[in-house]
Structure 1
Amino acid sequence: MAAEHGAIGCLIYSDPGDDGYGDGSVFPSGPMRPAQGVQRGSVEDMPTYPGDPLTPGVGATSDAKRLAIKDSPVLTTIPVLPISYGDALPLLSAMGGPVAPRAWRGALPITYRLGAGPARVHLVVKSNWDLKPIHDVIAKLPGTSEADQWIVRGNHHDGWVNGAADPIAGQVAELEEARALGELYRQGWRPKRTIIYAAWDGEEPGLLGSTEWAEEHAAELQRHAVAYINTDGNGRGYLGMSGSHSLEDFINGVAKDVTDPESHVSVWARDRARMEVARAAGGGRGGRGAAGNAAGNGDLPIGALGSGSDYTPFLQHLGIASLNLGFGGEDQGGVYHSIYDDFYWYTHFSDTSFVYGRALAQTVGRAVMRLADADVLPFVFTNLARTATGYARELQALRDQRASSIEAVDRAI
């Protein structure tokens, strides 16, 4: 958007009012972002398409036909650089112009202004555009009676710098699941459906590993894959459940059978209590679901999946029912995508005794095994229909609200 409106460069920083000292003590005394903490991230236009910017729609193999860099519609046309709020402070202090609106102000000890000038920045970005290999790790546990139906389970293994919470906490849980299923296999258990475990590379730059694998194997996946289960980072607190609403009833059942390591009730019951408290306090449906309250059968509504993690190519490109699961909500995420997301931070300010990593492995492991061994795949489409109806009602309400606003403006004119 900045380039579309004439910007020739962009500096991005995380304000301390969002995830620094404005929200708590900074690392290493606390969990929040210190003055030199830089939040990295991708500026690829992933809503247009994720994955390799030069091979849209096909796997980025060595012999794939590639676009010229200048012709890729998802690469930004201006230099972009993330900086810390410590480095942003002298630049923002030197800006003039009108005072920024209240919603645009942060917690730095300055008067936030919009510019332009008088500060000037000499921005130098050196980029290496060479092609580099990435490495997905794929393991397959063959099925028996329904071997041509695949359950795919993934988590990315690449991270920005140390990546203790994102992605290693999720990746460790996935590895433990795979180890446990392998041990069951050695003891004689055989899944009805084929299980595929994947450790994706290149997620942070643009969902590269998962997208390119899905594109390369698209025909096979559309014939055989019946569900994809994703995790990413993991923390401490409540089970977050998002996904295809045809799996809403299924994942509620799984959550009821996993014990929360701190409250010692099921993770489902703990999440239900949180949502009821939020609703009683005027928080609506507790931040989840489009249908309003819990579903008519008592299920907790799961969130809808947009994009942002490795479920994207499976759900958005191939139409495979998907879930995204992870724990969080009780640890402050002030070091996201920075060098400070390390073992010290995780063991002092997040899942300090790794009990929620175990809970994640138990939750997703149960989900994988139940999907793999079900006599009939546990899709329930009434929740999908209910959610779609909820979306339609929300759109109708928004339309009516906008129409009323327009009528009021017309009367005023």
Structure 2
Amino acid sequence: MMLGNEQQHLAPIPSYEEATSDYGGADEEGGERLNLLNRSGTSQSSSSAPPTRRDGYRPPYVESVRSSSDSSFLSAFNSPRSSAESLQREMVQMEVMEGEIEEQRRRGSGGLRAFSKRFSSSLSAISLPRNPFRGLRCRMPNVPPVPCLSNMNSAALVPVYRLIAVVVALIVVYVLLATDVLSFRSVGQEYLGPFDPESVRSYAEHGIDKDRIKHWLEYISSFDHMAGTEGDFVLAKYIQGQLSSFGQKTERMQYDVYLNYPTPGGRRVWMDEPKWEAQLEEPVLKESPHDKRPSENTLVFHGHSKKGNVKGPVIYANYGSREDFQKLKAQGIEVNGAIALIRNGGRNSDLGIKIKAAEEEGVVGVLAFSDPKTEGWDWPDSAVMRGSVSLTSLLPGDVLSPGWPSLPGASDRLSHHNNKALVNIPSLPLSYKDTRPLLQAIKGKGKKVDDDWVGGVPHVDEYWTGAVGSSPVVNLQNENYENYRQPVWNVLGEIQGTDRLEEKIVIGNHRDAWCFGASDPNSGTAIMLEVARVLGKMMEFGWKPLRTIVFANWDAKEYNLIGSTEFVEEAGPGVKDNVIAYINLDAAVTGTQFTAAGSPSMQYVVKKVLGRVSDPLTHKLYNDTWNSEDMPGLGAGGDYTAFQHYAGISSVDLSFSGKGYPAHSCFDNFAWTKDIGDPGFIYHETLGKIVILLLLELSDHAIIPLDMMAYWHAINKHWKELQSWVKQKVDASAGQGAKLNLDPLKNAVNTALGHIMKFTQMNEGWMGQDVDGLYVELDDWAVSQRRSRSIRMGNFDKHLLDVTKGGGVPGRLWFKHMIMAPQADNAHEVEYFPGVRAAVNQGHWDVAQSEVDKVADLIKRASRKLLDEVSDSSPT
């Protein structure tokens, strides 16, 4: 199959006013409103006029309300089996499910040729072809009078008509078989539907269109859309309409969560001596490309920041890490009662942890600025990096409902006061233009800093720490509006797979942005829409994947990964039982360097896909240039967090990155992407190809291509690193009862190797394939065994969860995965064997030993269940 020269027809982009003109309407864009998640009761509304974007970022006055109990999406995540552990027995005993076979042959037009078709279906989707004359009410043809039949009545001619109909039907069937329109040779094969696998991949890869990606990104980034605001609501409707237009069943899901917004004029930073006040807000860059008026910037603030008015002497604390504060203390620099001035980024880029560290040292407020030396590119002097100061490494999601969903009207909510997931001192972000007077004001005060503390702010020739007794006093005012039940909206679309017993694949990225969000996150949104469009075009030809594909557009990620976390918490065990893999996009294209991070099981399939895609400039295949042997794991920097670390779903995060981009500022707009970030949108197109091919590999193979040996190699590597790290900790604590026996973990890793090798080297008849890669064993046992093998591999990550009562990483029980978790002091980075490390860091050696024993049992159990899915279903 080849892609023809399909005429490009891009719908005109609406203006912001046009997009919001049906603001209070009930219909979805691009398709019929399905009410798939219609919450009991009436929609909430207000008679007041819609708020403007400048008016405190209040929510839309019409909200989408739905019932989780009636949700077709959530009910679809309910397991069709009694439990994952009993699946093998059910598959062995199940009857062949009757499905429906459709033969659709289309003539090519406009140079676009249809797929090369092959009638192929899994055994669970087989049925006899429908009677083509069923339901037709036809008049019998007029038969000329025949002399010998002239005395016969019409009833006597019925057998003759029947005989003629049978002969005609036989002729039709013969023609269909002879022309290979119908071919039952590939029933139960790797790909479903009447399509050749290679033709499907080729069409999908070549169907990705960079001009369409550019088209979507231009609109999505043409106005601001912070979580819960009217711009966010407009885009939720827009994306839902687009997914509907691609043939997907869609739904918009609402959660009511704790968010804060800046109040106009409520934030100030100033000094009385010398007289100075920060500008704070970013300049409006230029007119909106579609509204022909000045574009509106969002106000500058930190999400989930503590409101209040504080003042104190300014102290420069480098990146604001715990190590930096310890260095200040060692130099005799007091910080209690001070305002800390810190740089964004560094080895620890977790802003919430930095502010928590300052709080623990007695700092009363924090000012965080973007240093051009750290950012790695020509960062504008007036750009401001907004961000969340939530403690994501402790608890993602809505901080008022830890571990359960924040459904509309729910009463089980915690208080935000003294909430362990929130910081307790105010903070604000600054541009380095606003930071310059502060750094100049403390010159010669305190201690002159070492070279590694020197930043790159122009016209600051020396960097000093400042001192409590001599630094100028800075006033920090941070007034913001807090909404404890702010509506936010996830948008989901679904391509139904042909096998209802197969588990699902989810691809997602978030929609909300701190301002226009061209790179972060909507380069990912635009790519996801293009992937959905191409798959929708394939569906028009009759193609469907084996496994259901769910497209998810999350909300409120920027605050604390809220949308994806609330969804996973609401779906509960249904997600664990029914999702086999998750693909994440976010700031998808900010450079030219391909990056991937995820579960080790995803390593092979990513590498395989990269063998088809080459760099658009160097023309080298990515599987030759990407270091797949060292694919990093996942912290908590994206919407994969709830899937990987809470539900144990094998996940991967994909992007093209570079030295830097105007992250979380209003400079991250369409103009930056078009002129600097990705001129020509060639890397957007390239990532689109990678994503759609990866989706096909995961959704359309009878045996999902996860790699258990790669997982073992990762565990073995990180266990050895843990061994060296523990030895250092024990040596440093000599004489204090430090002792830890790691032999159980060593034995578990060795035992797992034997199980995984046996599983990987298995070669049975139901695994046999022909030269085209299609499976030759087609009976119900073979189909069930292939399905079972996929589910066993998909369950490997899930078996590494500690789901016992009170289980999880010590001190951070929301995180259930015991091999991989975000670092406790940096949500953006990963650490391995987090339970053991947490206990050792706290000096709790008895707890550390229990954690070693627990994770050893989980490793042995996970590897054993690759071979025996139905035995010993209880945790050991």
TM-score greater than 0.5 by the shorter chain: yes
TM-score for the superposition, normalised by structure 1: 0.85
| Native 8 Å contact 2:398 2:406 kept in 1 | yes
Residue aligning to 1:173: 527
Q: Residue 100 in 1 paired to residue 100 in 2?
A: no
Q: Which has the higher contact order (CA 8 A, sep 6+)?
A: 1
Matches within 5 A, 1:347-358: 347-358=674-685
Q: Distance in 1 between matches of 2:687 and 2:417?
A: 42
Q: How many residues align?
A: 369
Looking at CA atoms only, which structure, 1 or 2, has the larger radius of gyration?
2
Residue aligning to 1:257: 612
Residue aligning to 1:126: 479
Matches within 5 A, 1:303-342: 303-329=632-658, 332-342=659-669
Residue aligning to 1:43: 389
Residue aligning to 1:360: 687
Q: Distance in 2 between matches of 1:400 and 1:49?
A: 30
What is the alpha-carbon root mean square deviation over aligned residues?
1.8
Q: Against the structure 1 CA distance between its residues 334 and 378, is the aligned structure 2 distance closer, same or farther, given a 3 Å change threshold?
A: closer
Matches within 5 A, 1:32-181: 32-64=378-410, 65-95=412-442, 96-108=445-457, 109-117=460-468, 118-130=471-483, 131-181=485-535
Amino acid at match of 1:232: D
Cα deviation, residue 322, structure 1: 0.3
Corresponding residue SS for 2:686:
helix
Q: Distance in 1 between matches of 2:595 and 2:611?
A: 13
| Native 8 Å contact 1:243 1:322 kept in 2 | yes
Q: Residue 195 in 1 paired to residue 541 in 2?
A: no
Residue aligning to 1:18: 374
| Native 8 Å contact 2:502 2:547 kept in 1 | yes
Cα deviation, residue 186, structure 1: 1.4
Cα deviation, residue 238, structure 1: 2.5
Q: Distance in 2 between matches of 1:111 and 1:327?
A: 36
Cα deviation, residue 314, structure 1: 0.4
Amino acid at match of 2:409: D
Residue aligning to 1:284: none
Instruction: String of CA shifts for 1:347-389, please: whole Å, max 9, x gaps.
Output: 1211111111111111111111111111112222111111111
Among candidates 552, 556, 559, match of residue 205 of structure 1: 559
Q: Against the structure 1 CA distance between its residues 301 and 350, is the aligned structure 2 distance closer, same or farther, given a 3 Å change threshold?
A: same
Amino acid at match of 1:250: V
| Native 8 Å contact 2:397 2:561 kept in 1 | yes
Corresponding residue SS for 2:507:
strand
Residue aligning to 2:592: 237
Q: Gaps spanning 5+ residues in structure 2: where?
A: 1-356, 735-876
Instruction: String of CA shifts for 1:129-171, please: whole Å, max 9, x gaps.
Output: 1132111110011111245411000011111211111111111
Q: Gaps spanning 5+ residues in structure 1: where?
A: 25-31, 273-298, 408-413
Corresponding residue SS for 2:508:
strand
Residue aligning to 2:291: none
Amino acid at match of 1:377: I
Among candidates 673, 679, 699, match of residue 372 of structure 1: 699
Runs of 4+ in 1 over 4 A off after TM superposition: 399-407
**Segment of structure 1 superposing worse, 96-105 or 195-204:** 96-105
Amino acid at match of 2:650: A
**Segment of structure 1 superposing worse, 376-385 or 99-108:** 99-108
Instruction: String of CA shifts for 1:62-104, please: whole Å, max 9, x gaps.
Output: 1231111104211111101111111111112222211123222
Corresponding residue SS for 2:387:
coil
Corresponding residue SS for 1:353:
helix
Q: Distance in 2 between matches of 1:67 and 1:400?
A: 41
Q: Distance in 2 between matches of 1:367 and 1:147?
A: 21
Amino acid at match of 1:41: G
Amino acid at match of 2:654: L
Cα deviation, residue 8, structure 1: 1.1
**Segment of structure 1 superposing worse, 40-49 or 339-348:** 339-348
Corresponding residue SS for 2:564:
helix
Q: Distance in 1 between matches of 2:625 and 2:713?
A: 24
Instruction: String of CA shifts for 1:261-286, please: whole Å, max 9, x gaps.
Output: 112222222335xxxxxxxxxxxxxx
**Segment of structure 1 superposing worse, 91-100 or 367-376:** 91-100
Q: Residue 383 in 1 paired to residue 710 in 2?
A: yes
| Native 8 Å contact 2:600 2:631 kept in 1 | yes
Residue aligning to 1:6: 362
Residue aligning to 1:276: none
Q: Distance in 2 between matches of 1:235 and 1:267?
A: 17
TM-score for the superposition, normalised by structure 2: 0.41
| Native 8 Å contact 1:239 1:328 kept in 2 | yes
